Structure 1
Amino acid sequence: MAKMNVKKGDQVEVLSGKDKGTQSEVIAALPAEGKVIVRGVAVVKKAQRPTQASQQGGIVEKEAAIDVSNVALVCPSCGKATRVGHDVEDGKKVRVCKKCGAKF
């Protein structure tokens, strides 16, 4: 399985599906499954039973996981969806924008 270039808190753009073109933040990264959960994207309705923690049951809307190949990282400096390269800087691996060359 390939390493994911997307982390929690990154800004991403959805490349395919009903939410194509949407830019939003990654809520959670699931590297073992190769999926990410993006705020406001792939919202599904789920029947929720009442529990001790949440007394109120009913139908709840929540974000579903989407494949990491269906999102592209948005570069913080140029603001465009881009592929990611890697560089070693002071012994640490940093991500590099393939469009503008900015490190983040």
Structure 2
Amino acid sequence: MSIKKGDNVKVLSGKDRGKQGVVLRALPAEGKVVVEGVAVAKKAVKPNQQNQQGGIVPTEMPVDVSNVQLVCPKCGQATRVGHKKDGKNKLRVCKKCGAEF
């Protein structure tokens, strides 16, 4: 999976198609990512010590990693990700402009 926590991504399909957001969590075992402001569902929460009131709370749900694409920080476009070796390190490379990130 070439998308990590903190990456800026664009949603390619689904009800939130076209939205951009930051990856909050990456779930590589499930092949999903949680993106800020995308796939928001309302969840009922019971009152507890942290949340004294409870009620209905909006939360971001996981989105399949195949439905998002990384946004290049240099050219600002959604792009596929290539890989390049730099000694022992494996770098991610933008397929459109060649920038490393």
Q: TM-score, normalised by structure 1?
A: 0.94
Candidates 69, 75, 78, aligned match of 2:66: 69
Work out the CA distance in 2 between the residues paired with 1:88 and 1:16: 31
Please tell me the residue identity of whatever aligns with 1:54.
Answer: N
CA RMSD of aligned residues (A): 0.7
Question: What does 1:22-33 align with in structure 2 at a 5 Å threshold?
Answer: 22-33=19-30
Q: Does 1:91 align with 2:83?
A: no
Instruction: State which of 2, 5, 9 in structure 1 corresponds to 2:2.
Output: 5
Q: Does residue 15 of structure 1 match 2:33? A: no
**Please, which of 54, 62, 84 is the counterpart of residue 57 of structure 1?**
54
Deviation for aligned residue 1:52: 2.2
TM-score, normalized by length of structure 2?
Answer: 0.97
Shift of 1:78: 0.6
- Aligned to 1:69, the other structure's residue is in SS state helix
Percentage identity across aligned positions?
Answer: 66
The answer for unaligned runs of 5 or more in structure 1 is: none
Distance 1:44 1:91 in 2: 42
CA separation in 2, counterparts of 1:88 and 1:69?
24
Paired residue for 1:81, among 73, 78, 81?
78
Q: Structure 2 unaligned runs (5+)?
A: none
